[in-house]
Amino acid sequence: MARLSRKQLKHDRFVEEVGEQVHFLAEHRNQALAAVGVVIVLAVGAAAFFSYQRSQDQAGRVALFESLRLYHGAVTAEQRPGYITFATTGERVRRTTESLEKLRTDFAGRKEAQAADYYLGLLNIEEEKLDEAKPLLESAISGADPIYGSLARLALADVLRRQDDVEGAKSQYQALIDNPSSVVPASRAKLELARSLTEKDPAQATALLEELVAEGGPATGAASLTLRKIRGS
C-alpha cells in the first residue's frame, strides 16, 4: 500500500470535509435558506427600527415644540404675529393641557412624556392646584432625562415648601445638592434650601448662605441679600 505524504493527507481531509459540508447543505437546503432569510429579516427589521426611532425623535421634538408654544402663549387681545395668543387664561390652560395630555399618550415612556408631566405640573401650580401638581412632578422626576427630572424636583420642593412641609422640601433640595444638573446646579439648590429654612431654622439657613458667599459662585449676590434680611440689616 502506497504511503501518502503529509500534504496528500491534508488535501484528502480537506476534500472530505468540504464534501461533508456540501452534502449537509444539500440535505438541509430549506433550513439553510430559512436561516439566511432570518438574517435578512433581522437586518431589515433593525434598519426599520432605527428609521422608526429617527422618525419618532423628529415627531416628538415637533410635538413638544408645539405644546411649549401653547404653554408660553400670551393672554392678550393684541395681535402678535408669529406668537400664539389667547383671549382668556382659561383658554390657554385648556388648550395647553389638551396638547400636553396628547403628548403624554403619544410618546409614553419617552422624554417628551416626561416633559409633558413637568409642564402639566407647572400649569397646576399656576392654578393653585398643588395637590394635583405633586404626582405629575413626581412622575417627571422618575423619568430618564436628568434635565426635566431636576427641574421637576425643584418645582416639587417649592410646592412642598408652600404647603409648609419643610422636611419634605428639605429632602428634595438635598437631593438636588447631591445630584446637581446643568439647569439646577448645587448652588441654586442650596440657596433655595436656605431660603426655605429662614423662618424654621435661621441658624442652619445662615450657615448655608455663608457657605455660598464664601464659595463666590453665581449665587453669591442672592445669598448675601438673604443673609442681610435674616440679620435685619
Which tens digits make up the pLDDT trace of 87-122?
999 999 999 999 999 999 999 999 999 999 999 999
Q: Are residues 206 and 119 in the same domain?
A: no
Torsion of CA 160, 68, 101, 116, to 10 degrees: -50
Query: 2-36: string of b/e by CB count within 10 Å (b at 16+)?
Result: eeeeeeeeeeeeeeeeeeeeeeeeeeeeeeeeeee
* Lowest-pLDDT range of 2-11, 84-93, 211-220: 2-11
Q: Compute and round to an integer the Cα radius of gyration of the chain.
A: 31
Instruction: State which H helix or E strand residue 85 sits in.
Output: strand 85-86
Confidence of residue 38 (pLDDT cuts 50, 70, 90): low
Q: Are residues 144 and 212 in the same domain?
A: no
Last residue of a domain, one of 163, 193, 215: 163
Q: Are residues 129 and 204 in the same domain?
A: no
Q: Are residues 77 and 115 in the same domain?
A: yes
Q: Are residues 125 and 216 in the same domain?
A: no
Q: Are residues 143 and 212 in the same domain?
A: no
CATH code, domain with 79: 1.25.40
DSSP three-state, residue 60: helix
**pLDDT 10s digits, 121-143:** 999 999 999 999 999 999 999 99
Q: Are residues 123 and 213 in the same domain?
A: no
In-domain check, residue 5: no
In-domain check, residue 22: no
Q: Are residues 219 and 154 in the same domain?
A: no
| Average pLDDT of the chain, as a whole number | 84
Q: Are residues 158 and 72 in the same domain?
A: yes
Confidence of residue 4 (pLDDT cuts 50, 70, 90): very low
Note the pLDDT of residue 7.
47
Last residue of a domain, one of 131, 163, 195: 163
- Assess whether pLDDT exceeds 50 at residue 84: yes
Q: Domain total for the chain?
A: 2
In-domain check, residue 44: no
Q: Are residues 129 and 71 in the same domain?
A: yes
In-domain check, residue 144: yes
Confidence of residue 51 (pLDDT cuts 50, 70, 90): low
Last residue of a domain, one of 130, 163, 196: 163
Which residues span the domain enclosing 225?
A: 185-233
Distances 150 to 6, 35, 108, 146, 208 between C-alpha atoms, Å: 72, 48, 19, 6, 20
Instruction: State which H helix or E strand residue 138 sits in.
Output: helix 130-141
Note the pLDDT of residue 14.
45
Instruction: State which H helix or E strand residue 99 sits in.
Output: helix 89-106
Q: Are residues 193 and 99 in the same domain?
A: no
Contact 198, 226 (CB under 8 A): yes
Identify the sign of the CA torsion 209, 214, 215, 219. Answer: positive
Q: Are residues 219 and 155 in the same domain?
A: no
**pLDDT 10s digits, 167-204:** 999 999 999 999 999 999 999 999 999 999 998 899 99
Q: Which residue has the cell 410646592?
A: 159
The neighbouring-strand residues paired with 75 are 86
pTM for the structure as a whole: 0.75
